[in-house]
Structure 1
Amino acid sequence: MAETRDIPDYPLTDYVQPEIAELGLYVGRFEVLNTQMDRPPGMHRHGHFELFWLHGPAEHFNDFEHFKLPAEHPSFILVSPGQLHRWEGADDIRGTLISFTTAFFDGREPPPSRLMQLGFVNRMCYPPVLTADTTLEEDVTPLIARCEQEYATRGEGWMEVCRHSIRLILLLASRAWLRQKPEPGRQDAHGNCYNASRPRWRTASASRCRWLLRQAAGCDSRAFERCGKAVHCWHRR
């Protein structure tokens, strides 16, 4: 297995021109990007977040675990900075990729970032992959379409529209996870297992989450990643 330092780190400039990447946002079609990228497929990571809204069967590998994406319903995926990931069987998958930095998400708000309040970030409380139920699909599909439209047309206030749409998508996904959360030891409808041997997916206690948020307050990206690793260690105990 390759060492972590040997795994490539792809920046936003891989997607768009540097002056656009400086905005901290990219919105595009997964299937187009998947065929146009001039790089070999395989394990990689990023220094930014990647939000996927995808249709079609495939597998997503994230931090040494596999997740199945069904054909029948859309899948929500959030890849956090530094997470090792790759795709398998994704040639026929369709959907949207939204890449964004913490700075873009926060806008003018001071630290700590609101991202630290979301259980999907660095897999604090929830796994990075969620199969959408009917409610989430109905709520998120128009928001994804709006992000694509705003990014393409870039009318007045387009960045604010995208920023608030992303925030709402993440909040709705968190709500959907709480609705769907399977009982320990059981698989979901698509074979993904959430069991007692991997308890890092349980919801952290309120006091522990407050402590983690204090640790993450105002930290840089490397400290942010260390905080995520600390969460993983605690959840394994």
Structure 2
Amino acid sequence: MPQKLPVYRIPDFTAARALANGFHVVDLQAHRAKHAFVQAPHKHDFYLLLYVKTGAGTHTIDFTAHPIQANSFYFLTPGQVHAWDLAPDTQGTLLFFTAEFYRGTQEADTLRQFPFFQSWQHPPVLFSSEEHMLPIQQLLQQMQQEYSQARTFQQDALRAYLELLLIQLARLYPKAERQPEAPNWPFQLYQLENLVEQHYLEHQPISFYARALHLTPKYLNELCKQNLGKTTSDLLQERLILEAKRLLTHSPHLTIAQIGAVLGFEDNSYFSRFFKKHTGTTPEKFRQRA
């Protein structure tokens, strides 16, 4: 029977490391040499940053193929499906971390304030110049040095480096002119994105999300339309369709009916109609092409 799509954790790559439960930074070529299986499609339960200093190829994230080029960054959030096809001489750095590691002793999870982690609004890539990437590259080298051996306050130091890295990348990001503190954007939207990620399988009504955000359904809908050009319903349906595509492509052990059930559709025919309405094709034909 075909295997399920693997979901990797940081300890799968760093079993001998004391910090393996929350953080890892490694040279890209060393990682590829030791873990050749990462070229095949898979998921992570952690955040991943890929820095490419030089190289070529493609990095596919949830059905979108992004070109690999020098002085670029690629950002993944937990649960996204990705795979890469990199030229053998591609050089760079990989950084893994969990939300728990980043948060430390703080209660609030503020990672989605960064534009590259707002998947609804912005693409998960950053193309820059060698000049602008030089400070980033130096910071990554400092992180690798700090990580290379156990030191006093090591986790605190790495967390501080990580915060500085994300801030510097956000400043380079093309959409950085849209500040999180701007009225109603994107703070409530990245809160909504988190809520949808947690509850989309439950098929909750819009009022459920509006109530959680202390908004009226009408105001939430207007907020989505003004900033994303989509209704709240559009966003909920798109998340279901994305998961359906993931399962149809990467879970051959599941039948179409089983996939519909996983997604919360009790009626398989309704799931097929829903999928075709939003993609223009049936689940069966989509799976065949995938």
Give TM class, smaller chain.
Answer: 0.7 to 0.9
Q: Distance in 2 between matches of 1:84 and 1:114?
A: 22
Query: C-alpha deviations, 1:125-173, integer Å up to 9, x for none?
Result: 3211111224531221111001100100232222222112112222221
CA shift in 2, pair 1:163/1:21, >3 Å? closer
Q: Kindly provide the amino acid, as one letter, of the partner of residue 10 in structure 2.
A: L
How does the TM-score come out when normalised to structure 1? 0.73
Tell me whether 1:160 sits opposite 2:156 in the alignment.
yes
Query: C-alpha deviations, 1:81-136, integer Å up to 9, x for none?
Result: 0111110134221111110000001111112x120211111524321111122453
- Contact kept? 1:76, 1:129, Cα under 8 Å: yes
Residue number in structure 2 paired with 1:42:
40
Q: Distance in 1 between matches of 2:133 and 2:17?
A: 33
Computed over aligned residues only, the root mean square deviation of the Cα atoms, in angstroms, reads: 3.5
Q: Distance in 1 between matches of 2:229 and 2:82?
A: 20
Q: Kindly provide the amino acid, as one letter, of the partner of residue 184 in structure 2.
A: S
CA shift in 2, pair 1:161/1:21, >3 Å? closer
Partner of residue 211 from structure 1, selected from 162, 169, 188? 188
Residue number in structure 2 paired with 1:128:
124
Q: Kindly provide the amino acid, as one letter, of the partner of residue 57 in structure 1.
A: A
Q: Kindly provide the amino acid, as one letter, of the partner of residue 189 in structure 2.
A: L
How far residue 76 of structure 1 moved from its aligned partner, in angstroms, is 1.1
Alignment size in residue pairs? 206
Give the structure with the larger helix fraction.
2
Q: Distance in 1 between matches of 2:19 and 2:154?
A: 15
How far residue 11 of structure 1 moved from its aligned partner, in angstroms, is 1.3
Residue number in structure 2 paired with 1:64:
63
Tell me whether 1:83 sits opposite 2:60 in the alignment.
no
Partner of residue 101 from structure 2, selected from 101, 104, 111? 104
Identity of paired residues, percent?
Answer: 22
CA shift in 2, pair 1:134/1:30, >3 Å? closer
Q: Distance in 2 between matches of 1:58 and 1:206?
A: 40
Q: Distance in 2 between matches of 1:214 and 1:81?
A: 16
Q: Distance in 1 between matches of 2:88 and 2:124?
A: 21
Q: Distance in 1 between matches of 2:40 and 2:77?
A: 17
Q: Kindly provide the amino acid, as one letter, of the partner of residue 59 in structure 1.
A: T
How does the TM-score come out when normalised to structure 2? 0.61
Q: Distance in 1 between matches of 2:118 and 2:6?
A: 19
Q: Distance in 1 between matches of 2:153 and 2:198?
A: 32
- Contact kept? 1:116, 1:213, Cα under 8 Å: yes
Q: Kindly provide the amino acid, as one letter, of the partner of residue 14 in structure 1.
A: D
Residue number in structure 2 paired with 1:25:
23
SS of residue matched to 2:148:
helix
Which has the higher relative contact order, 1 or 2, with Cα contacts under 8 A spaced 6 or more apart? 1
Residue number in structure 2 paired with 1:199:
none
Tell me whether 1:223 sits opposite 2:221 in the alignment.
no
How far residue 65 of structure 1 moved from its aligned partner, in angstroms, is 0.6
Q: Kindly provide the amino acid, as one letter, of the partner of residue 105 in structure 1.
A: Y
- Contact kept? 1:31, 1:93, Cα under 8 Å: yes
Q: Kindly provide the amino acid, as one letter, of the partner of residue 188 in structure 2.
A: W
Q: Distance in 1 between matches of 2:200 and 2:143?
A: 27
Show structure 1 runs of 5+ residues with no match: 182-201
Q: Distance in 2 between matches of 1:214 and 1:41?
A: 32
